[in-house]
């Protein structure tokens, strides 16, 4: 796994982590508050702690709450994956821990469910088996989301490699930049972008300045080009006068030749 992909968006595990925390709180508190509404294991008295309850309900419930919190807020992929594994193990302990009390002498008993057959089944599901299965499900869901490297994660890794900082930190640094730096940067930018475009007028090629994307009118003479234009016109007039003088000389020569004949 690339180093950049070890970081993920915090929203990746928010839902799974929140549900894991709720399930962990339920598993840790239901043996103490369940007797309020006749939903309990023996001893069915409120806020009565036993060794079995501590080992089989409070401990896995607390582990699930802590793991869910890390899954919900962590941006570090390995930490979130490890927490999801912890939550899955806690859920498995909820599901099978109470079944080991009869075969393993070292595992204390959580008591016996009270009530009729239907209520006993509901209590077994809500206290241990069903609760553990649901915790394992959401832990596996979180583990899968943190294991797969998505397109967004690859984009974040590429951005971090390009800028040298995680995008969230880069945005914070940009927000904290002094206003004077921004003003200095803008001051260094060219204020006017000028370009020239050749325009033909009276047989001459003359550059017309373009300021801020707007071309100056072609019929507005540029002050800097007036001397060159006048000199060019004077040369053109001189050439025309010389051509006329040559024609006049040629005509006079032909007239003299005719008279000589």
pLDDT tens for each residue of 140-178: 999 998 888 766 666 666 666 666 655 554 444 444 444
Q: What is the pLDDT along the chain (261 residues), one digit of tens a residue?
A: 445 577 787 788 899 999 999 999 999 999 999 999 999 999 989 999 999 999 999 999 999 999 999 999 998 999 999 999 999 999 999 999 988 887 777 778 888 999 889 999 999 999 999 999 999 999 999 999 888 876 666 666 666 666 665 555 444 444 444 444 444 445 555 544 444 444 444 444 455 454 444 444 444 555 556 777 788 888 888 888 888 888 888 888 787 777 776
If you count them, how many residues does the chain have?
261
pLDDT for 40-75, tens place per residue?
Answer: 999 989 999 999 999 999 999 999 999 999 999 998
């Amino acid at each position: 796994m690339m180093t950049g992909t070890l970081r993920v968006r915090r929203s990746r595990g928010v839902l799974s982590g929140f549900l894991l925390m709720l399930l962990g709180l339920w598993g840790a508190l239901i043996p103490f508050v369940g007797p309020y509404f006749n939903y309990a294991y023996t001893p069915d008295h409120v806020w009565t702690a036993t060794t079995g309850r501590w080992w089989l309900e409070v401990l896995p419930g607390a582990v699930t709450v802590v793991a869910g919190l890390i899954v919900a807020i962590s941006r570090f992929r390995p930490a979130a994956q490890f927490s999801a594994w912890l939550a899955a193990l806690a859920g498995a302990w909820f599901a099978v821990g109470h079944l080991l009390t009869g075969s393993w002498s070292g595992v204390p008993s959580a008591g016996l469910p009270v009530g009729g057959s239907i209520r006993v089944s509901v209590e077994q599901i809500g206290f241990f088996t069903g609760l553990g299965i649901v915790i394992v499900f959401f832990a596996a869901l979180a583990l899968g989301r943190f294991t797969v490297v998505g397109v967004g994660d690859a984009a974040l890794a590429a951005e971090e490699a390009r800028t040298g900082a995680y995008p969230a930190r880069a945005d914070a640094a940009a927000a904290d930049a002094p206003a004077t730096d921004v003003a200095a940067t803008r001051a260094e930018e060219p204020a006017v972008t000028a370009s020239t475009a050749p325009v033909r007028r009276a047989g001459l090629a003359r550059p017309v300045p373009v300021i801020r994307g707007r071309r100056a009118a072609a019929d507005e003479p540029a002050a800097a080009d007036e001397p060159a234009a006048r000199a060019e016109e004077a040369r053109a007039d001189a050439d025309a006068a010389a051509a006329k003088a040559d024609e006049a000389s040629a005509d006079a020569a032909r007239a003299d030749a005719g008279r000589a004949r």
